[in-house]
Structure 1
Amino acid sequence: MDLLLDIDNIDYKKTALNVQDFLDHKLPHILRLANESPASLKSPVISDMPVSHGNGENHNEEKLIKYIAAKEMINGVARAFKSCSKTSFQILKGKYIDGLQDWQVEQLMYCSHATYFKLRSRAYNEFADCFELQKGCRDLHVYDRMVKSY
Protein backbone atom coordinates (compact mmCIF):
# COMPACT_ATOMS: atom_id res chain seq x y z
CA MET A 1 0.00 0.00 0.00
CA ASP A 2 1.44 3.33 -1.07
CA LEU A 3 0.10 5.98 1.32
CA LEU A 4 1.26 8.89 -0.85
CA LEU A 5 -0.43 7.40 -3.90
CA ASP A 6 -3.67 7.11 -1.93
CA ILE A 7 -3.38 10.73 -0.77
CA ASP A 8 -2.66 11.93 -4.32
CA ASN A 9 -5.81 10.20 -5.57
CA ILE A 10 -8.30 11.65 -3.10
CA ASP A 11 -11.14 13.55 -4.75
CA TYR A 12 -11.60 16.26 -2.12
CA LYS A 13 -14.90 17.61 -3.46
CA LYS A 14 -16.52 14.17 -3.60
CA THR A 15 -15.03 13.26 -0.22
CA ALA A 16 -16.57 16.38 1.34
CA LEU A 17 -19.96 15.45 -0.14
CA ASN A 18 -19.60 11.86 1.11
CA VAL A 19 -18.74 13.03 4.64
CA GLN A 20 -21.63 15.50 4.58
CA ASP A 21 -23.99 12.70 3.55
CA PHE A 22 -22.64 10.48 6.34
CA LEU A 23 -22.97 13.18 9.02
CA ASP A 24 -26.35 14.51 7.80
CA HIS A 25 -28.12 11.23 7.03
CA LYS A 26 -26.34 8.19 8.47
CA LEU A 27 -25.12 9.59 11.79
CA PRO A 28 -28.65 10.43 13.05
CA HIS A 29 -29.67 6.82 12.36
CA ILE A 30 -26.56 5.52 14.18
CA LEU A 31 -27.35 7.79 17.14
CA ARG A 32 -30.88 6.37 17.30
CA LEU A 33 -29.55 2.78 17.18
CA ALA A 34 -27.34 3.57 20.17
CA ASN A 35 -30.12 5.48 21.95
CA GLU A 36 -27.91 8.58 22.04
CA SER A 37 -28.27 12.27 21.27
CA PRO A 38 -25.85 14.51 19.35
CA ALA A 39 -24.55 15.69 22.74
CA SER A 40 -22.86 12.30 23.09
CA LEU A 41 -20.48 13.37 20.31
CA LYS A 42 -18.81 15.86 22.65
CA SER A 43 -16.56 13.24 24.17
CA PRO A 44 -15.90 9.58 23.51
CA VAL A 45 -16.83 7.00 26.14
CA ILE A 46 -14.68 4.03 27.03
CA SER A 47 -16.85 0.93 27.25
CA ASP A 48 -15.93 -2.30 29.01
CA MET A 49 -18.92 -4.03 27.44
CA PRO A 50 -17.81 -7.23 25.70
CA VAL A 51 -18.37 -7.65 21.99
CA SER A 52 -19.84 -10.92 20.85
CA HIS A 53 -19.35 -12.20 17.32
CA GLY A 54 -22.11 -14.81 17.22
CA ASN A 55 -23.39 -16.70 14.23
CA GLY A 56 -26.62 -14.66 14.07
CA GLU A 57 -28.98 -17.30 15.43
CA ASN A 58 -29.97 -15.24 18.46
CA HIS A 59 -32.03 -12.12 17.61
CA ASN A 60 -31.22 -10.41 20.92
CA GLU A 61 -27.54 -11.05 20.34
CA GLU A 62 -27.79 -9.43 16.90
CA LYS A 63 -29.44 -6.38 18.48
CA LEU A 64 -26.68 -6.18 21.08
CA ILE A 65 -23.98 -6.42 18.42
CA LYS A 66 -25.67 -3.68 16.36
CA TYR A 67 -25.97 -1.51 19.49
CA ILE A 68 -22.29 -2.00 20.39
CA ALA A 69 -21.20 -1.27 16.80
CA ALA A 70 -23.28 1.95 16.82
CA LYS A 71 -21.74 3.00 20.16
CA GLU A 72 -18.25 2.28 18.81
CA MET A 73 -18.93 4.37 15.71
CA ILE A 74 -20.30 7.26 17.79
CA ASN A 75 -17.10 7.18 19.85
CA GLY A 76 -15.14 7.18 16.59
CA VAL A 77 -17.03 10.25 15.38
CA ALA A 78 -16.37 12.03 18.69
CA ARG A 79 -12.65 11.17 18.58
CA ALA A 80 -12.43 12.23 14.92
CA PHE A 81 -14.12 15.57 15.72
CA LYS A 82 -11.61 16.19 18.51
CA SER A 83 -8.67 15.27 16.24
CA CYS A 84 -9.57 17.97 13.70
CA SER A 85 -8.07 21.46 13.72
CA LYS A 86 -9.67 24.07 15.95
CA THR A 87 -11.50 25.73 13.04
CA SER A 88 -12.78 22.43 11.64
CA PHE A 89 -13.88 21.30 15.11
CA GLN A 90 -15.77 24.58 15.58
CA ILE A 91 -17.67 23.99 12.33
CA LEU A 92 -18.40 20.31 13.01
CA LYS A 93 -19.40 20.99 16.62
CA GLY A 94 -21.69 23.82 15.57
CA LYS A 95 -23.46 21.75 12.94
CA TYR A 96 -23.57 18.28 14.45
CA ILE A 97 -23.39 18.73 18.22
CA ASP A 98 -25.07 22.10 18.72
CA GLY A 99 -27.49 21.58 15.81
CA LEU A 100 -26.89 24.96 14.20
CA GLN A 101 -27.63 25.81 10.58
CA ASP A 102 -24.77 26.74 8.24
CA TRP A 103 -25.66 30.43 8.35
CA GLN A 104 -25.55 30.37 12.16
CA VAL A 105 -22.11 28.74 12.25
CA GLU A 106 -20.95 31.21 9.59
CA GLN A 107 -22.04 34.12 11.81
CA LEU A 108 -20.35 32.63 14.89
CA MET A 109 -17.12 32.38 12.93
CA TYR A 110 -17.36 35.97 11.62
CA CYS A 111 -16.51 34.96 8.07
CA SER A 112 -18.02 35.47 4.64
CA HIS A 113 -20.37 32.97 3.06
CA ALA A 114 -17.75 31.83 0.52
CA THR A 115 -15.03 31.51 3.15
CA TYR A 116 -17.30 29.49 5.42
CA PHE A 117 -18.11 26.96 2.71
CA LYS A 118 -14.41 26.54 1.87
CA LEU A 119 -13.68 25.99 5.56
CA ARG A 120 -16.60 23.59 5.87
CA SER A 121 -15.32 21.55 2.92
CA ARG A 122 -11.87 21.43 4.56
CA ALA A 123 -13.51 20.35 7.84
CA TYR A 124 -15.28 17.48 6.09
CA ASN A 125 -12.01 16.32 4.53
CA GLU A 126 -10.17 16.57 7.87
CA PHE A 127 -12.95 14.54 9.44
CA ALA A 128 -12.52 11.83 6.77
CA ASP A 129 -8.77 11.72 7.51
CA CYS A 130 -9.36 11.31 11.24
CA PHE A 131 -12.43 9.07 11.08
CA GLU A 132 -10.90 6.24 9.06
CA LEU A 133 -8.30 5.68 11.79
CA GLN A 134 -10.88 5.13 14.52
CA LYS A 135 -11.86 1.64 15.68
CA GLY A 136 -14.98 0.37 13.92
CA CYS A 137 -15.03 3.22 11.41
CA ARG A 138 -14.61 3.09 7.66
CA ASP A 139 -12.82 5.22 5.11
CA LEU A 140 -15.12 7.99 3.85
CA HIS A 141 -12.64 9.26 1.25
CA VAL A 142 -13.61 9.10 -2.40
CA TYR A 143 -10.67 8.27 -4.65
CA ASP A 144 -10.03 9.19 -8.28
CA ARG A 145 -9.76 6.26 -10.60
CA MET A 146 -6.84 7.87 -12.43
CA VAL A 147 -3.51 6.90 -10.87
CA LYS A 148 -0.90 9.63 -10.91
CA SER A 149 2.70 8.62 -11.30
CA TYR A 150 5.86 10.64 -10.79
Structure 2
Amino acid sequence: MALLPELDETKTIKKVKRFFEKEFPTLQNMAHVAFVDIKSPVISGMPVSHGAGNSSETKVSMHAYAKDVLGKVVNACNGLDQKHRHILELRYFKKLTWYEIYQLTGYGKTRGNELLNEAFLQFAWAFVDVEDLRKFK
Protein backbone atom coordinates (compact mmCIF):
# COMPACT_ATOMS: atom_id res chain seq x y z
CA MET A 1 0.00 0.00 0.00
CA ALA A 2 1.32 3.44 -0.93
CA LEU A 3 1.74 6.11 1.73
CA LEU A 4 0.17 8.72 -0.53
CA PRO A 5 -2.33 8.32 -3.32
CA GLU A 6 -0.88 8.84 -6.79
CA LEU A 7 -0.55 12.48 -7.83
CA ASP A 8 -2.68 13.48 -10.80
CA GLU A 9 -0.01 15.55 -12.52
CA THR A 10 -2.30 16.95 -15.23
CA LYS A 11 -4.89 18.25 -12.75
CA THR A 12 -2.19 19.51 -10.35
CA ILE A 13 -0.45 21.43 -13.16
CA LYS A 14 -3.79 22.93 -14.21
CA LYS A 15 -4.54 24.03 -10.63
CA VAL A 16 -1.08 25.60 -10.07
CA LYS A 17 -1.20 27.31 -13.47
CA ARG A 18 -4.59 28.79 -12.55
CA PHE A 19 -3.08 30.01 -9.26
CA PHE A 20 -0.28 31.83 -11.09
CA GLU A 21 -2.51 33.22 -13.83
CA LYS A 22 -5.50 34.30 -11.70
CA GLU A 23 -4.77 34.46 -7.97
CA PHE A 24 -1.11 35.55 -8.08
CA PRO A 25 -1.75 38.82 -10.02
CA THR A 26 -4.69 39.57 -7.71
CA LEU A 27 -2.49 39.06 -4.65
CA GLN A 28 0.16 41.35 -6.18
CA ASN A 29 -2.47 44.05 -6.76
CA MET A 30 -3.87 43.68 -3.24
CA ALA A 31 -0.36 43.88 -1.75
CA HIS A 32 0.71 46.74 -4.03
CA VAL A 33 3.78 44.67 -4.93
CA ALA A 34 5.50 44.30 -8.27
CA PHE A 35 8.15 41.60 -8.40
CA VAL A 36 11.31 42.35 -10.32
CA ASP A 37 12.60 38.91 -9.43
CA ILE A 38 11.91 36.32 -6.78
CA LYS A 39 14.68 37.47 -4.46
CA SER A 40 13.99 41.21 -4.46
CA PRO A 41 10.36 42.32 -4.43
CA VAL A 42 9.91 46.01 -5.12
CA ILE A 43 7.25 47.75 -3.12
CA SER A 44 5.41 50.09 -5.45
CA GLY A 45 3.11 51.55 -2.82
CA MET A 46 1.67 51.13 0.62
CA PRO A 47 -2.01 51.11 1.58
CA VAL A 48 -3.48 54.54 2.06
CA SER A 49 -6.30 55.02 4.53
CA HIS A 50 -8.93 57.59 3.65
CA GLY A 51 -11.03 58.30 6.70
CA ALA A 52 -12.21 55.86 9.33
CA GLY A 53 -14.44 52.85 9.13
CA ASN A 54 -14.50 49.22 8.16
CA SER A 55 -13.61 49.94 4.55
CA SER A 56 -10.11 51.16 5.43
CA GLU A 57 -9.63 48.43 8.00
CA THR A 58 -10.62 45.79 5.44
CA LYS A 59 -8.23 47.23 2.86
CA VAL A 60 -5.33 47.18 5.33
CA SER A 61 -6.08 43.62 6.46
CA MET A 62 -6.41 42.42 2.84
CA HIS A 63 -3.12 44.16 2.07
CA ALA A 64 -1.43 42.40 5.00
CA TYR A 65 -2.96 39.05 3.99
CA ALA A 66 -1.80 39.43 0.38
CA LYS A 67 1.73 40.42 1.44
CA ASP A 68 1.87 37.39 3.74
CA VAL A 69 0.75 34.97 1.02
CA LEU A 70 3.16 36.52 -1.52
CA GLY A 71 6.00 36.02 0.96
CA LYS A 72 5.00 32.37 1.23
CA VAL A 73 4.91 32.09 -2.59
CA VAL A 74 8.48 33.42 -2.72
CA ASN A 75 9.56 30.99 0.02
CA ALA A 76 7.98 28.08 -1.86
CA CYS A 77 9.72 29.19 -5.07
CA ASN A 78 13.03 29.21 -3.22
CA GLY A 79 12.47 25.48 -2.67
CA LEU A 80 12.46 24.79 -6.41
CA ASP A 81 15.65 23.86 -8.20
CA GLN A 82 17.33 26.77 -10.01
CA LYS A 83 16.27 25.87 -13.57
CA HIS A 84 12.60 25.52 -12.67
CA ARG A 85 12.57 28.55 -10.38
CA HIS A 86 14.12 30.63 -13.18
CA ILE A 87 11.48 29.71 -15.79
CA LEU A 88 8.67 30.40 -13.28
CA GLU A 89 10.28 33.73 -12.39
CA LEU A 90 10.62 34.80 -16.01
CA ARG A 91 7.05 33.85 -16.92
CA TYR A 92 5.05 34.95 -13.87
CA PHE A 93 7.20 37.34 -11.83
CA LYS A 94 8.76 39.23 -14.74
CA LYS A 95 5.79 38.53 -17.07
CA LEU A 96 7.98 37.82 -20.10
CA THR A 97 6.64 36.45 -23.38
CA TRP A 98 7.79 33.07 -24.66
CA TYR A 99 9.87 34.88 -27.29
CA GLU A 100 11.64 36.92 -24.60
CA ILE A 101 12.22 33.75 -22.56
CA TYR A 102 13.66 32.06 -25.64
CA GLN A 103 16.05 34.99 -26.16
CA LEU A 104 17.25 34.76 -22.54
CA THR A 105 17.39 30.98 -22.10
CA GLY A 106 17.35 29.35 -25.54
CA TYR A 107 14.24 27.39 -24.50
CA GLY A 108 11.52 27.42 -27.14
CA LYS A 109 7.87 27.53 -26.14
CA THR A 110 7.49 23.73 -26.11
CA ARG A 111 10.54 23.12 -23.89
CA GLY A 112 9.68 26.19 -21.80
CA ASN A 113 6.20 24.82 -21.18
CA GLU A 114 7.63 21.43 -20.20
CA LEU A 115 9.92 23.11 -17.67
CA LEU A 116 7.09 25.33 -16.45
CA ASN A 117 4.84 22.29 -15.91
CA GLU A 118 7.65 20.60 -13.94
CA ALA A 119 8.03 23.83 -11.94
CA PHE A 120 4.28 23.82 -11.23
CA LEU A 121 4.56 20.29 -9.81
CA GLN A 122 7.55 21.26 -7.63
CA PHE A 123 5.69 24.38 -6.48
CA ALA A 124 2.58 22.35 -5.54
CA TRP A 125 4.68 20.29 -3.11
CA ALA A 126 6.61 23.31 -1.78
CA PHE A 127 3.42 25.38 -1.22
CA VAL A 128 1.40 22.61 0.43
CA ASP A 129 1.59 24.13 3.94
CA VAL A 130 -0.03 27.33 2.66
CA GLU A 131 -2.53 25.99 0.14
CA ASP A 132 -2.72 22.45 -1.16
CA LEU A 133 -2.79 22.77 -4.95
CA ARG A 134 -2.12 19.07 -5.45
CA LYS A 135 -4.76 16.78 -6.99
CA PHE A 136 -4.62 13.04 -6.42
CA LYS A 137 -6.04 10.19 -8.51
Question: 1:4 corresponds to which letter in structure 2?
Answer: L
Residue deviations 1:66-113 (CA, integer Å, cap 9, x gap): 221111111011111111001111101111222211333244322344
Q: Normalising by the residue count of structure 2, what TM-score does the alignment of the two structures yield?
A: 0.77
Residue deviations 1:5-44 (CA, integer Å, cap 9, x gap): 1xx4221111111111111111111111111112374347
1:63–1:113 distance in 2 versus 1, CA, 3 Å:
closer
1:103 corresponding residue in structure 2: 99
1:129–1:106 distance in 2 versus 1, CA, 3 Å:
farther
Choose between structure 1 and 2: higher strand proportion.
Answer: 2
2:21 corresponding residue in structure 1: 24
Question: 1:138 corresponds to which letter in structure 2?
Answer: E
Which sections of structure 2, spanning at least 5 residues, go unmatched? Answer: 42-52
Give secondary structure in 1 for the equivalent of 2:33: coil
Give secondary structure in 2 for the equivalent of 1:138: coil
1:106–1:123 distance in 2 versus 1, CA, 3 Å:
farther
Matching of residue 78 in structure 1 with residue 74 in structure 2: yes
Distance in 2 (CA, whole Å) between partners of 1:60 and 1:100 is 34
- Which of 79, 86, 91 is matched with 1:90 structurally? 86
Distance in 1 (CA, whole Å) between partners of 2:103 and 2:12 is 25
Q: Any runs of at least 4 consecutive aligned residues in structure 1 with deviations exceeding 6 A, and if so which?
A: none
Distance in 1 (CA, whole Å) between partners of 2:2 and 2:30 is 34
Q: State how many pairs are aligned.
A: 126
Once the two structures are aligned, what percentage of the paired residues are identical?
26
Distance in 1 (CA, whole Å) between partners of 2:61 and 2:35 is 21
* 1:43-62 equivalence runs, <5 A: 43=40, 58-62=54-58
